[in-house]
Amino acid sequence: MLKNVAVALVDGVNPFELGVICEVFGIDRSDQGLPVYDFAVCAAEPGPIAARSGAFSLSVPYGLERLESADLIAVPADQHCEARTYPEPLLDALRRAVDRGARVLSVCSGAFVLGAAGLLDGRRCTTHWRHSAELARRHPRAKVEPDVLYVDEGSVITSAGTAAGIDACLHLVRQEHGSEVANTIARRMVVPPHRDGGQAQYIERPLTHVRCDTVGGVLGWMERHMDQEMTVEQLAERAHMSPRTFARRFLQETGTTPYRWLLRQRVLLAQELLEATDDTVDAIAGRAGFGNAAALRHQFVRSLGTTPNAYRRTFRGPALAA
């Protein structure tokens, strides 16, 4: 049973991610019959811990020795995660914790700390979508999943950007104490006890990047005509190639097939329209090239793990979704 929780801080800690952990595990809610944790914030480095904002620093009463008794060690995000190294005593403490049966939890880019300790090797994991490629590059044995809110691998739990830490913490509470406890904490925090979908919903629409100009003109045309039917044969004719040559060049330059590229761009366009316009889902489906709302819903669920209306509620509010 989860009773003892410690947070390990490094210099440049993100205040929000730290606050998420403190809010879920560090507040006494015994007046509602909720579990009370033996909670401590620990410094992984000597001296006051500077917050990422630079506006303040934290005086932390505990050092790494406090981690030895923790059932759960949480690691929030920190500044310059992609470029820094972490104190070896902290990494040793995390490895020992997992070896003795404790769990570790990272919020956002805190996954880089777990990666440096070797705890992501051979495990599924996630981080903020902006850092996922670098996490995979630095830790090639990790199985990085950039499109999810959190990943539970038993002793190692990783969560995506910022508020996804709430999802991971509540998931852990739900595992340990049941849905009623997790739902009550969520109600106190005024957050949903469980969110649909994944962080794929929050990824910005990427610009088209190609390594040469062979299919660049065709890509631009495709982006401007999302609402039209397209075949490889038609696109190849526009590029003055045979369909086979066009398909091969397209894969070489974009890393995917024409169909998959077009489908992804159509979903991204639908996301933009759901956020920025008052158009009906049927109208958006037509503008994005899906034809009808049922087809758009099918691809939205497959790609993002949520429905168009649920997505719109998240980004525009329930009035517009209605």
Domain ranges for the chain: 4-202, 216-321
CATH number of 216-321: 1.10.10.60
CB atoms within 10 A of CB 120: 28
Looking at residue 52, its pLDDT comes to 85
Q: Work out whether strand 103-106 and strand 150-152 pair parallel, antiparallel, or are unpaired.
A: unpaired
User: How many residues are recorded in the chain?
Assistant: 322
170 contacts: CB under 8 Å, gap ≥ 6: 24, 182, 185, 186, 191, 193, 194
Q: If you search the block for the tokens 């991204």, which residue do you land on? A: 268
Phi, psi of 17 (to 5 degrees): -65, -40
If the chain, 322 residues long, is cut into consecutive pieces of 10 residues, what is the mean pLDDT of each piece? Answer: 95 93 96 95 89 86 95 93 89 97 96 97 94 94 91 95 90 90 89 72 56 75 90 92 91 85 88 87 94 93 89 66 47
In Å, how far are 20, 90, 120, 142, 278 from 116, measured between CA atoms? Answer: 23, 10, 8, 11, 46
pTM of the model: 0.70
What CATH architecture does domain 4-202 belong to?
Answer: 3-Layer(aba) Sandwich (3.40)
**Phi-psi sector, 230: left (phi>0), alpha (psi -120 to 50), beta:** beta
